[in-house]
Structure 1
Amino acid sequence: MEAALVPVTQANKDVLANVYQFYDYDFSPFTNQDVNSNGQFEVNIDYYWEGDGRWNPFFIMVNGSIAGFLVVLFENMDVDPDPRHVIYDFMILQKYRRAGIGRQAALQAFGMYNAHWAVAQMDNNTPAIYFWRNVIQHFTGGRYTETYKAEWGKYIQTFSTKNNVKKEESCRS
């Protein structure tokens, strides 16, 4: 199976909002989020399309089907001409997990931008911590930094794809 990143347009934002229901469901053990009185998680992604260009949502597609999504945030774009790129949200549907789809999608995202990167995980989300450490280790060949921000309860990995001649090759791995 091969993953492909497809930009989410405003015309497809309702589809993305629907898929966010699964994301919030999967994430609820870590956030303690509950559904509302209509039996849904509160999802508001309208700000992705409010014109500032910082939010870059993508569907992760496999053979024409949605397998998940990821959102790349250009952090501090309003004040920094070279903003740090952040994997803001990332989700693979259960059916596609442990099949390499998440790894492929992450590597494609990293390969799309010549940038400084940050990826964060909640400290109680050990599967995400393991996944991102493994993917980033593979992508960078170990050239990344990890810090723990106790006040946020998050692990953060940082690295750069600036002037990375191996970027294209790494994306195909």
Structure 2
Amino acid sequence: MEIKLVPVRPEDKGTLINLYQLYEHDFSRFTNRDIDKNGRYEVNIDFYWEGDERWNPFYIEVSGTIAGFLVVLFENMDIDPDPTHVIYDFMILQKYRRTGIGRAAAIKAFKMYNADWAVTQMENNTPAISFWRNVIKSFKEDNFTERYRPERKKYIQELSTKT
């Protein structure tokens, strides 16, 4: 089983928007977001391709089939020559969950860039907190930090892949 991170091209934006519908559906139990009158979640990702190089969307492919997506954000790239890289969005389709694909994709993303990283989860999204703690611990052993930001109600894991 070959797992790849494939950059999403602007002409493939429609497919990514469709995947975001599934992401927002899954995530709505934590965000309480509702669909609009057309039965869809409002999603705008045009800015990913409007000259702002901070946004880096990837499909997660398994043997050539899309199994999910992730977005890497180069945080504060406009003011920091060495920006922190953030896993901004991450989604694995239900069929592929608990198979190791998400873990492998996350680690591939970390290895793609020689950078400091941050991964954030909402405090009520306990499955995501558990997933990221396990992935990062298996990847970096105890060489990472975690903090809780009560004002944002978020957990943040920070690690580095700098050599």
Q: Do the structures match in fold with TM over 0.5?
A: yes
* TM superposition shift of 1:150: 0.6
Residue in structure 2 matched with residue 133 of structure 1 by the alignment? 133
Equivalent residue number for residue 159 of structure 2: 159
Please show how residues 28-39 of structure 1 align to structure 2 within 5 Å. 28-39=28-39
Contact persistence 1:35–1:41 (CA under 8 A): yes
2:147 aligns with 147
Q: What's 2:115 paired with? A: 115
Deviation (angstroms), 1:94: 0.2
1:50 match: 50
* CA drift at 1:2: 3.0
Q: Distance in 2 between matches of 1:28 and 1:94?
A: 15
Q: Distance in 1 between matches of 2:55 and 2:90?
A: 13
State the distance in 1 between where 2:72 and 2:79 align. Answer: 17
Which amino acid in 2 is paired with 1:52?
D
Q: What stretches of structure 1 of length at least 5 have no aligned partner?
A: 164-173
Amino acid at match of 2:124: N
Contact 1:68 1:92 in 2 (8 A): yes
Q: Which residue of structure 1 lines up, in the alignment, with residue 59 of structure 2?
A: 59
Partner in structure 2 of residue 20 of structure 1: 20
Native 8 Å contact 1:2 1:101 kept in 2: no
Q: Is the 8 A contact 1:2 1:104 kept in 2?
A: no
Distance 2:118 2:50 in 1: 23
- TM-score, reference length from structure 2: 0.99
Work out the CA distance in 2 between the residues paired with 1:139 and 1:48.
Answer: 28
Letter in 1 for 2:16: L
Q: Give me the whole-angstrom Cα distance separating, in 1, the residues matched to 2:88 and 2:2.
A: 22
Q: Distance in 2 between matches of 1:161 and 1:116?
A: 6
Shift of 1:77: 0.1
Structure 2: give runs of 5+ residues left out of the alignment. Answer: none
1:170 corresponds in structure 2 to none
Aligned-residue CA RMSD (Å): 0.6
Question: Structure 1 length normalisation: TM-score?
Answer: 0.93
Following superposition, the deviation at residue 65 of structure 1 comes to 1.1
Distance 1:87 1:42 in 2: 21
Task: Give % identity.
Answer: 68
List, as ranges, runs of 4+ consecutive aligned residues in structure 1 with deviation greater than 6 Å: none
Asked if 2 retains the 8 angstrom alpha-carbon contact of 1:69 and 1:90, the reply is: yes
